[in-house]
Amino acid sequence: MATFSAGERAYLDGQKLGRLATVDGKGQPQANPVGFVVREDGAIDIGGYAMGTTKKWRNIAGNPLVSLIVDDIVSHQPWMVRGIEIRGEAEQVTGAHDLGAHLSPEVIRIRPRRIISWGIEGGESGMRGRTVSEDAL
């Protein structure tokens, strides 16, 4: 599993909303706004009110490859943005969790395989990307 830098982790811990991209059985992409939590081991959990009934849940059953984007605008003048794209494999987890008692028992758990970030490490404008080694897969 690819790991987050300290700056990336701090950024993610301060954000509440991302966009999860999945692919359905016909090869059609779907993107949804989602709340998320980064676990101590670097996995990302996404819960919902009725997660088990959603298209994203069904999409992951057929194709576990996903992308999660978390970004924001730091400044309009000058234009400055920052964010992270997390590509990885998702799994369906069902059971008790600590995301909130009001959420359904189904959780999407992402194991990052590639992390691409921009504007996070000391205000850099370029992109920084890391991929988990093939040996670790």
* Residue 108 falls inside a structural domain: yes
For residue 48, what is the domain's CATH number? 2.30.110.10
Give this prediction's pTM: 0.87
pLDDT digits (tens, 9 = 90+) for 39-89: 999 999 999 899 999 999 999 999 999 999 999 999 999 989 999 999 999
Say how many domains are in the chain.
1
- Classify residue 97: in a domain, yes or no: yes
* 78 within a domain of the structure (yes/no): yes
Cβ contact 69:62 at 8 Å: no
Within-domain flag for 46: yes
Separate counts of helices (H) and strands (E) for the chain: 2, 8
Domain presence at residue 1: no
- At residue 99, the pLDDT reads 78
The residue whose two tokens read 């920084």 is 128
Query: Rounded distance, CA 44 to CA 86, Å?
Result: 10
pLDDT of residue 72: 95
**pLDDT at residue 134, as a whole number:** 41
In this predicted structure, what is the pLDDT of residue 137? 39
Q: What pLDDT, in 10s, does the model give residues 99-133?
A: 777 888 899 999 999 999 999 986 555 556 556 54
Domain limits at 124?
A: 6-136
What type of residue is 44? I
pLDDT of 30 reads: 96
